[in-house]
């Protein structure tokens, strides 16, 4: 397979064509961008049609602002194999379950419990720190659909939660 390094929007993680590649360890996130916002230089003949934020001219050059940019790659790197330091302990009071599926909600990657062996829903930003030796990705879900083998919708007490990657700890 050819090696690649592609810039894309972080929400591409949730696309039905992209997520299976991530789940099957055929593609992962690269180093450095972490879903941050970036300015990109555009050709001098670019015509900006409105005065909205996200466009600037500086030193005679034109730039557009793009939200949530990440590297997508199949090139291995050492950061990908760094385990997340887990320090929190599971408690049912602190980690609610989804209305329709036996998985807990963890709203911040740094709060993944170190002692929970079931399915965990984490934000898509989890992939910035994902270590395939520590976690298995089993699916992705939101309040309207899921990708993977688990029919999970991210709804807690009737409230819709944004896209979540469904994971399990390994070991």
| Residue 24: predicted pLDDT | 94
| Residue 85: predicted pLDDT | 96
Alpha-carbon span 43 to 33, nearest angstrom? 23
| Residue 34: predicted pLDDT | 63
Alpha-carbon span 29 to 36, nearest angstrom? 13
**The model's pTM:** 0.84
| Residue 53: predicted pLDDT | 67
| Residue 146: predicted pLDDT | 76
Block mean pLDDT (10 aa), the chain, length 171: 91 90 94 74 85 81 86 94 96 94 94 96 93 95 76 86 93 71
Alpha-carbon span 137 to 134, nearest angstrom? 10
Q: Are 143 and 152 in contact (CB under 8 A)?
A: no
Q: Are 126 and 109 in contact (CB under 8 A)?
A: yes
The closest of 125, 103, 95 to 169, measured between CA atoms, is 103
Residue-wise pLDDT for 15-57, tens only, equals 889 999 999 999 999 986 666 778 889 998 988 877 666 888 8
| Residue 114: predicted pLDDT | 97
| Residue 144: predicted pLDDT | 75
| Residue 168: predicted pLDDT | 96
Determine whether 62 is exposed, middle or buried from the number of CB atoms within 10 Å of its CB (0-12, 13-18, 19+): middle
């Amino acid at each position: 397979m050819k090696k690649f390094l592609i810039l894309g929007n972080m929400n591409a993680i949730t696309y039905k064509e992209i997520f299976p590649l991530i789940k099957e360890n055929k593609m992962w996130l690269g180093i450095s961008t972490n879903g941050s916002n970036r300015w990109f230089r555009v050709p001098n003949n670019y015509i900006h049609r409105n005065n909205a934020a996200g466009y600037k001219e500086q030193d005679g050059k034109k730039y557009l602002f793009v939200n949530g940019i990440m590297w997508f790659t199949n090139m291995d790197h050492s950061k990908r194999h760094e385990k997340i330091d887990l320090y929190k302990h599971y408690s049912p009071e602190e980690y609610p379950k989804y209305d329709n599926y036996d998985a807990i909600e963890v709203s911040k990657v740094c709060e993944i419990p170190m002692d929970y062996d079931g399915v965990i829903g984490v934000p898509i930003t989890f992939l910035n720190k994902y270590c395939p030796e520590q976690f298995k990705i089993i699916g992705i879900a939101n309040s309207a659909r899921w990708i993977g083998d688990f029919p999970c919708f991210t709804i807690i007490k009737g409230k819709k939660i944004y896209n979540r990657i469904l994971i399990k700890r390994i070991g």
